[in-house]
Structure 1
Amino acid sequence: MKKIIVLICLTFIYNGLFAQNGSREKIKALKIAYITEKLDLSSKEAQKFWPVYNDYKETIENLKKEERKLMKVLNEVNDNSTDITNKRSEDFINEYLKIEEEKSKTRKKLILDLKNVIPNKKILQLIKAEGDFHKRMLDKIKGHRKRH
């Protein structure tokens, strides 16, 4: 029964996903439904899993925002000047590496935290499900663009 409900939700979300310019909220809901289905979490596991996973996603989103800000500044510098100083280049690289390191630490923390919440097998299923979801979304976007 749980799988039927998830599949119905997936269908409605998936069909409306691109009707509203790829709304982030719909994509998030689709991802939640997809992960829930793939991990087949018990209600007890879900109660512990989602707070840990949501904290991880929030931290990653904040790091991605920092990265986008850095890229915006870098693009402005490149657009306005072909001559960026070596010191400024080094600063950008160091900031970029710092963000990448934080993303890596955050991912590692997620996996270690989840070891106390769900079985290792489900952690591996999560890793695969996230990759599969990302690939499906990219394929859907590519298909959508070809039609327009």
Structure 2
Amino acid sequence: MKLLLKYLLFTLMIFAGYEVFSQPPASFRSTSAPSKKLNLIREGYIETQIKLSNDEKAKFWPVYREYKEEVNSIRKAKLQNRLNKSKDQIQKDLEYDQQLVDAKKHYTKEFLKILPPDKVNRVFQSEREFTEELIKQLGERGTPDK
């Protein structure tokens, strides 16, 4: 009986220890560090693709970061809307899509004040290329070797 009690206590301690050492809840984890690193890599990629002068860099990056912040907030709101399962979800989704288009139009005009049209086109093209490459690498990383 004493031995059974010891095994039971030991098993309980193992499960309790598992809970202590498991990952913290998402609310405690910081997601800003990986996204900051990713943003720096993205900016480096775009910069090499469009070959900015020092003057262009100084003017372009603050506007670009503002653009990315606005787009990300719209996308986050759209993602939150997808959790809403009401009739209005479809209409709201279309409104968020329109907001994304409007933001891109607005910032395209802002970018054109700083960069020539070919470089502005290259900014958006470089963003797409970067995202495609990122998805490709994440897909390759996620597939187990056989």
Paired residues, number: 113
Q: What do the CA deviations read for 1:74-94 (whole angstroms, capped 9, x no partner)?
A: 3xxxxxxxxxxxxx41x1112
Q: Which has the larger radius of gyration?
A: 2
| Identity, % of aligned positions | 21
Query: What residue ranges of structure 1 are gaps of 5+ in the alignment?
Result: 1-21, 75-87
Distance 1:47 1:71 in 2: 37
Give 1:147 shift: 3.4
Output aligned runs, 1:98-117, within 5 Å.
98-117=95-114
1:36 maps to 2:33: no
TM-score by length of 1: 0.72
Cα deviation digits, residues 115-141 of structure 1 (max 9, x gap): 110111111111211111011001100
Q: Which residue of 2 aligns with 1:136?
A: 133
Q: What are the Cα deviations for residues 89-119 of structure 1, in whole angstroms up to 9, with x where unaligned?
A: 1x11121111110000001111111111011
Structure 2 match to 1:17: none
Instruction: Spell out the pairing of 1:1-148 with structure 2 (5 A cutoff).
Output: 23-74=34-85, 88-89=86-87, 91-147=88-144
The CA RMSD measured in Å over matched residues stands at 1.6
**Structure 2: how far apart are the matches of 1:103 and 1:147?**
36
Q: How does the TM-score come out when normalised to structure 2?
A: 0.73
Partner-residue secondary structure (3-state), 1:23:
helix
Structure 1 segments (4+ residues) deviating >2 Å: none
Output the CA distance in 1 between the equivalents of 2:80 and 2:98: 17
Q: Which amino acid aligns with 2:93?
A: Y
Aligned counterparts of 2:45 and 2:102: Cα–Cα separation in 1 = 25
Q: What is the SS of the residue equivalent to 1:100?
A: helix
- Unaligned stretches of 5+ residues in structure 2: 1-32
